[in-house]
Structure 1
Amino acid sequence: MKTDDPTMLAAHDWDFPVPIAYGPGRLAEMGRRCIELGIRNPLIVTDRGSRDLPFIGQLQSLLENEGLSATIFSDISPNPVDSEIGLGRKAFRAGGHDAVIAIGGGSAMDGGKAICLTANNDHDLWAFEFEQPVPVIGQGENFPALITIPTTAGTGAETESTAMVTHADKGMKFCVWHPDLKPALALLDPELTVGLPRTLTAWTGADALVHAIEAYLVPGFNPLCDGLALEGLALIAKWLPVAVDEPQNLTARGGMLVGSSLAGIAFLKGLGMVHAISHMVGAEFNTQHGLTNAILLPVVLRFNLPGQEEKVRRMAQAMDLSDTSVEGFIAAVETMLDQTEIPKSLGEIGVPADCAARIADKALKDSAARTNPRVATQAEVQAMIEKAIAHAR
């Protein structure tokens, strides 16, 4: 397979669905970009694991070189918790900040967006829960400017306000959002993903794969999201194995970053049972989200795909597969998971067998369960979880 593409090494600017700056080395523009947006004192939000990585210091220096003040808030877990968002709100207010720059993986995106939701108003975080009435944002309570800079090609969370946060008391993940919060800029610089370890490249890339597949399978007519899901799937299927095996390949890193972003936009249509289960497993056992998704994917596909033959054919074509049957598609997905060394069961990552009934109950309450292409009973979800814990593929 050809592993170079000049398109992926060039700078591109897109305005849909929010302003997006793509290209290697684009992080260098951050100081100027902030000034153009009227930002003078941003709060840089990242996760604990990214706090000491080179791109954080590089971002700080770029801002300081333009005369901007910036402090860092990094008290964000791999699965962000509501109490951490409260601490971030306090840090934002104490520092007199006027914007949030979320930089890092999915947890940094979620943490930064959730802090943005609560920074300038007195609403409780859970007032922004997806199923609740949209909170009224009063005069003088406008959301601060938000810039998103993903350093993994996985969540695709950089173009929207949706964030997954764990409710500590309930032991469940919920989606928070507001339609009026949109990133002022999403900056996609594939150079920032080059240093990602092989495992995280695979896990986050598998997350993007799941986003594309689940979004496309959501019922309903949404050709915009469906088109993005298929193009995202094509890029991910082409470049994920290359990015894992050739970590310095900037073309592959760029292809994955764009594919991830497209899949992230596509799932505005909805997700499915992989995410519904994965959210609750992550909330209880603090598992890595993309890895959990990847393990669950074949089990859920075997439940969801019968009766979806036309959609399977379109997805198989996007992946350039010769066998476009349901079994051929699942086999190709499993081969990719094997190639990228995804564990074969949830049990291998510490999920105990006795949690299946409890996780199934919680998963059915997740908003992603409601957009799954096939209605599942509690017993069916429990059976999927039990199979995934014991032997997913």
Structure 2
Amino acid sequence: MHDMTQNYDWSFPIPVLFGPGRLAELGGICAGRGVKHPLIVTDRASRDLPFVQEAQAAVAKAGLTSAVFSDVSPNPTDHDAKTGLQVYLDGGHDAVIALGGGSGMDAGKAISLLAGAPERGLWIFDYDTDVDESLTAADFPPLICIPTTAGTGAETESTAMVTDTQAYIKRCIWHPTHKPMAAILDPAVTVGLPRNLTAWTGIDAMVHAIEAYSVPDFHPMCDGMALEGLKLVYRWLPEAIESPGSLQARGGMLTGSCMAGVAFLKGLGLVHSISHMVGAEYNTQHGLTNAVILPVVLRYNAPMISAQVGPMSEAMGLETRDFEGFYAAVCARLDACDIPRSLADLGVEESAVERLAEKAHGDAATGTNPRPATPADIAVLIREALAGAR
């Protein structure tokens, strides 16, 4: 077992600085790339937390200046991104530091994408549209990602989920040439995360690993990341919840989350496509929503993931290798994390089922689910999750 209280530097898939206290190196990273005035992007709930001040102090120590943009919703919207872009342009900023959980990270990445083509709007970066090949890496500002939760796992890519406030759906945005110049994984930053958010974001990472590994495609690099990520998250989440000051547990969670995030370059599944639309309409916490939906999707996918269940069970250290044992272990972990048993507990209404199902069917994650699903199939799953997901 590796010592998660030590510092490590990784070069794959981007430069990653891991270790307690690495946030203090932020200013040096910026200065090394010629950055002078970065915009730190986080969410409203994080604005006054210590890591924001620590980030600004690290930048100032390198002789640089910074500002903070935090007008970001729990599920970032196109309006948030446009407002942030204006702050970026008006402030004369030359880089974006995306600091936070999924909200701050997605908003920061959306702003950095917009800054690459500010006059053309956010949706030219929609994952489901043709890539604009006229844009190159040089068009985008330097981007540094610093996760403050062990769940999103999106710190190594420019991909971001943003709510389209006209259609009330979540869209995935990205550009293949835009990559973070570095990610900082500092376990000490996550020590103050409340018990419920530790659990919800941790389950989010577990879902990333399970869904990515279940995608029926040959991608051994992502599969390896998914299995090791699942192993770390399943091993360390209980300790991170019960012993929140454990840097070993927090480090294991950050590492597992990052690996699971790399794995879902392979794709995701119906848990995410449904969760995206629930979050867009009801502004629910993403990891919590994923956790509630997971059991019904596992049951639906069971006939198609028999080959994947064995390796995932082994990664989790289970004695059995069959679906029943795997499913029982997943549900037991959800119970231990006090995950609600129904989407109704999150405020989702029966009247929204058909609408949510239609939108989820159009989500990119539905296309990589191991078992095909029609809007009617998805509506059945949502109703199951409303009545009682497990």
Which TM-score band applies after superposition, normalised by the shorter structure? over 0.9
Aligned partner of 1:209 in structure 2 is 206
Q: Who is 2:43 aligned against?
A: 47
The aligned counterpart of 2:102 is 106
How far apart are the structure 2 equivalents of 1:287 and 1:178? 27
Mean Cα displacement is larger for which, 271-280 or 87-96? 87-96
Percent of aligned positions with the same letter in both sequences?
Answer: 56
Aligned partner of 2:139 among 133, 138, 142: 142
Q: Distance in 1 between matches of 2:90 and 2:200?
A: 36
| 3-state SS, counterpart of residue 173 of structure 1 | strand
Aligned equivalent of 1:225? 222
Q: Does 1:71 align with 2:67?
A: yes
Using the TM superposition, name which of 140-149 and 316-325 deviates more: 140-149
Indicate if the aligned counterparts of 1:306 and 1:326 stay in contact, CA closer than 8 A. no
1:50-77 alpha-carbon deviations (Å, 9 max, x no partner) = 0110110111111112210100111111
Q: Equivalent residue of 1:379, what SS?
A: helix
Classify 1:298/1:65 alpha carbon distance in 2 versus 1 (closer, same or farther; 3 Å).
same
How many Å separate the matches in 2 of 1:351 and 1:236?
28
Structure 1 position 307, deviation (Å): 3.5
What is the one-letter code of the residue matched to 1:46? T
Out of 310, 315, 324, the residue aligned to residue 313 of structure 1 is: 310
Match of 1:24 in 2: 20
Quote the residue 1:343 is aligned against: 340
- Alpha-carbon distance, 1:211 to partner: 0.2
* Cα distance, 1:124 vs structure 2: 1.0
Residue of structure 2 in register with 1:333 after alignment: 330
1:286 and 1:307 mapped to 2: Cα distance?
31
1:257-276 equivalences under 5 Å are: 257-276=254-273
**Aligned ranges 1:284-303 → 2 under 5 Å:** 284-303=281-300
Gap regions ≥5 residues in structure 1: none
Higher mean C-alpha displacement, 73-82 vs 304-313: 304-313
TM-score (norm 2): 0.98
Taking a change above 3 Å as real, the CA distance of residues 254 and 141 of structure 1, as seen in their structure-2 partners, is closer
Note the aligned Cα RMSD (angstroms).
Answer: 1.2
**Alpha-carbon spacing, 1:120–1:294, altered in 2? closer, same or farther (3 Å):** same
Contact 1:104–1:152 (CA under 8 A) maintained in structure 2: yes
Output the amino acid matched with 1:15: S
CA deviation vs aligned residue, 1:143-183 (integer Å, no higher than 9, x gap):
00000000000010100010000000100000000001100
Tell whether 2:69 aligns with 1:91: no
Q: 2:53 aligns with which of 54, 57, 62?
A: 57
Aligned to 2:363: 366
**CA–CA distance in 1 between the matches of 2:235 and 2:371?**
28
What is the SS of the residue equivalent to 2:139?
Answer: coil
- CA drift of 1:37 comes to 1.6
**For residues 298 and 116 of structure 2, what CA distance do their matches in structure 1 show?**
42
TM-score, length of structure 1 as denominator length? 0.97
| Deviation digits for residues 283-327 of structure 1 (CA, Å, limit 9, x no counterpart) | 000000000000000110000022322210010000010011111
Amino acid at match of 2:310: R
Query: What code does the residue aligned with 2:295 have?
Result: P
- Report the CA distance between 1:38 and its aligned residue: 1.4
5+ long unaligned stretches in structure 2: none
Find out whether 1:355 has 2:349 as its counterpart.
Answer: no
